[in-house]
Amino acid sequence: MSRTIALLTDFGLDDPYVGQMKGVLADLAPDSRIIDVSHGVEPFCISQGAFFLSGAMEHFPKDTVFITVIDPGVGSARRIIAAEFGGQIVLAPDNGVLELAEARFPGTMIVTDLSESASKIHSSATFHGRDIFAPLAASIATGTSLESLGPKLPLREIVRTGINKPVWIADGVNATILHKDRFGNLVLNIPDTQTLPERMCIPEEQLLSGNDDGCVKRVCCYAELETGATGLLAGSQGYYELALNRGAASEMLGLEPGDVLTLKWSAQCDRD
């Protein structure tokens, strides 16, 4: 029985790229289920791709093969790797996109370098998703062992960018925006296991013109916020998110995935 194959890319759906990848998979692994995680990752946004991947994995079958193609370095000498997390396998460029999965499942990641096997596959210089990742994933899904495809890599050699750790400062934290959802909520790289103050504030210099209220209240759900108020809550994906009730926090701040938001502990925001 072939494994499930899950696709995560920044390709969007306007072009034929996703369809061509699925065509290759259907040809080479016809018994595999093919499931889309998302193709809406912002172009080249490795931090958002890492967030989508780490949040998805625990909700997929335990033997799923993930193809994760957010690959600004396509065609270069960057490595192509396969990371094992228990029974799941993630194929990806070695560019940091595995970093949040490694943090979420600590001590479980085993990495194989597939670069030599990949170099033997005839491919275009610009579409490794179709020409390299899809055939390799199909081969693994239908029974090829990772041991036959390449050597193991020491974990210290894997590319990491630091997105898994917010930067704690004397009176607050600098957090990376991992995702902006369709409601304008901003998912931060602060795990929801982290204890935070009940009141915080966003520095005035990060607020857009015309908005002078940077107060942030830590809440349990959106309904605890008054309309137009800003709150920080533990979201459904394992991280805190900044939300504006009946509004878009992203528009209030003008921030996108990959940007940095500063939250400061402030007694000036001790009002309800």
Q: Does residue 46 carry a pLDDT above 60?
A: yes
3-state secondary structure (DSSP) of residue 104: helix
Whether the predicted pLDDT of 1 surpasses 80: no
pLDDT of residue 272 exceeding 50, the answer is no
Domain 167-269 in CATH 1.10.3300.10? The answer is no
Nearest to 50 by CA among 87, 92, 112, 11: 92
133: left (phi over 0), alpha (psi -120 to 50) or beta: alpha
Question: What average pLDDT does the structure give for the chain?
Answer: 94
Nearest to residue 92, comparing CAs of 133, 151, 43? 133
Give residue 214's pLDDT: 84
> Residues 196-254: pLDDT tens digits?
999 999 988 888 755 556 899 999 999 999 888 899 999 999 999 999 988 899 988 89
- Find the angle CA(182)-CA(10)-CA(12) to the nearest 5 degrees: 70
pLDDT digits (tens, 9 = 90+) for 135-194: 999 999 999 999 999 999 999 999 999 998 999 999 999 999 999 999 999 999 999 999
* The CATH fold of domain 5-157: Rossmann fold (3.40.50)
Mean pLDDT computed over 64-79: 97
Residue scoring higher pLDDT (46 or 209): 46
Cβ-in-10-Å burial (0-12, 13-18, 19+) of 78 comes to middle
User: Where exactly are the structural domains of the chain?
Assistant: 5-157, 167-269
Q: Model pTM?
A: 0.92
